Amino acid sequence: MILVTGATGYIGSHIVKKLKEFGYNHVCGIDTKVHNDCIKYLTHLTLGDIISYSSGKKYLAIIHCAGYISVEESMKNPSKYYTNNLMGTLNLLNLDCYNFIFASTAGAFDPISPYAKSKIAAEDCIKERAKNHTIFRFFNVAGSNGEFGQIGPSTHLIRIAAEAAAGKRDSVTIYGNDYDTPDGTCIRDYIHVDDLAEAVVRSVENPSNKNYECLGSGTGYSVLEVLNTMRATTQQYYEYNYGSRRIGDPDKLVVDDLSKYLTIKQDLITMCESAYEWERRESIR
């Protein structure tokens, strides 16, 4: 049996479906509410939080995707992030499992925000207490498998750009244009959510037990490059403007050592296309 936390969220739902595709038929989930309707791929879904969750079951793997993820919010409310992201992980480590798989962040390489620091603290606890572990540092995850997508407030650039292309917002704000990069905007590494989900599933029976595994594409794109790719791919024009820098944003984050579990099948264009199609479809539901 496998347990997925944050099972109906954006990444969790893609992982749940991918587990089914790989032949894992006994998958339980926990989430605070149903975000994406992936229940048909689950044996059971528990509605609740990870801080109080308990179970007497033995798991082949716990895939821990639940957590707060906003850098900006964590700067304003750090205790919320440490409580959920760290204490929730500590509680899950009390469960019996062969491989504890953790969704960490590329922000851990340059931990400016409480969000990133809470993930590093959780990583340390996992390495100390888990029988076996696989820690994935996710870079910027984007796109859709066509069935599931990002729900709730938009915090990631490709989704924000997709919303603008789909007519859900009038413009996009670029936070800072004076970074130490060729065009002055931040450079990030983006990975399609389906490629990421497949890498996670490949690790279920093959724990890494390394400090971390990086899930990105190995290619960096600036904010301007992403916005212009979305425009060109969708043939939808939208405006962008410049705002002040956000606290906690480093100049550049790009993978330099891709995970052994990862096979890149999709590029920035397919990320933009699928994100746009998801937002366009959601807007007419």
pLDDT at 284: 55
Closest CA to 200 of 270, 138, 268, 127: 138
175 is annotated as an active-site residue: no
pLDDT digits (tens, 9 = 90+) for 232-255: 999 999 999 999 998 778 899 899
Return the sign of the alpha-carbon dihedral for residues 58, 87, 112, 75: positive
Query: In this structure, what CATH number is given to the domain that contains residue 164?
Result: 3.40.50.720
Closest CA to 191 of 181, 183, 199: 199
| Catalytic site residue from 10, 115, 221, 261 | 115
Residue 267: which domain range?
2-283
pLDDT at 88: 95
Count of structural domains, the chain: 1
Quickly state the pLDDT bin for 283 (edges 50, 70, 90): low
Helix spans in the chain (H):
10-21, 71-76, 78-81, 88-92, 114-129, 157-165, 193-202, 223-234, 268-283
pTM for the whole structure: 0.94
Q: What is the DSSP letter of 207?
A: -
Identify residue 102 by its one-letter amino acid code.
F
What mean pLDDT comes out for the span 98-106?
96
